[in-house]
Amino acid sequence: MEGTNPVNKKLAAALSGGAALVVALSGCGGKDDGPDPKLQAWAKSVCDAVPAQDAKIKAANAVIDKTAADTTGTPDELQKAYAQAFQDMSDGYKAIAAAIGDAGAPPGVDGGAKRQQDAVKNIDGLSASYADLEKKVDALDTKDQGKFATGLHDVATEMKDLEKQSRNGTEALKNLEQGDVKEAIAEQASCKKISASPSATVG
């Protein structure tokens, strides 16, 4: 579809790297003696929730890339693909935020409660923004190609705000992950799995 394909590519470019925030949870290295057992347990509760959500977000990104390259899809097909991808990304980030929130403050860490709360707030905000995009895509007029293309353009423009939110979320996770917390995360097999992922960019 010539009318929407250039906009598709712009949207895909704006969304590239959406999984980077989740990857920020993966630690690197770690000391031989390891951190406090209570902190290890905290890290495990967070890390165990990561792989499934990381996979969901990466799959959603893949759908967006595939849809962006689709020159034959109808507006209805494009709408359905984008809406589902946005919903999956929203659900993935929401689950990550819930895992960090449910884990509570990392034990024995100075300022841990605030760092944990900041991470939850930022990731929850990102989840809400993707949910909002899903609603906007769902509301697009697929009967009028011109209006549909304009609507997709507006969605792509809003991605600039999401890029900033993603950076803020990544910074909040890095802040949470400092010192002993980073060491505890590095010890977890589930976070090591994410660190070994081809798309891992943090750590």
pLDDT tens, position by position, 129-154: 999 999 999 999 999 888 888 888 88
User: What percent of the chain has a predicted confidence (pLDDT) above 70?
Assistant: 77
Cα dihedral 34/40/43/48 (nearest 10) = 110
pLDDT for position 189 = 83
User: What percent of the chain has a predicted confidence (pLDDT) above 90?
Assistant: 36
Mean model confidence pLDDT for the chain: 81
pLDDT for position 202 = 32
Each residue's pLDDT tens digit, 28-73:
555 555 568 899 999 999 988 888 898 898 899 888 888 877 778 8
What does pTM read for this prediction? 0.83
4-8, 124-128, 158-162, 176-180 — which one is most confidently predicted on average?
124-128
User: Among 47-56, 65-74, 102-111, 170-179, which stretch is predicted with the lowest mean pLDDT?
Assistant: 65-74
pLDDT for position 156 = 81
Answer yes or no: is pLDDT of 159 > 50: yes
Mean pLDDT, range 83-91, rounded to an integer: 94
Answer yes or no: is pLDDT of 186 > 70: yes
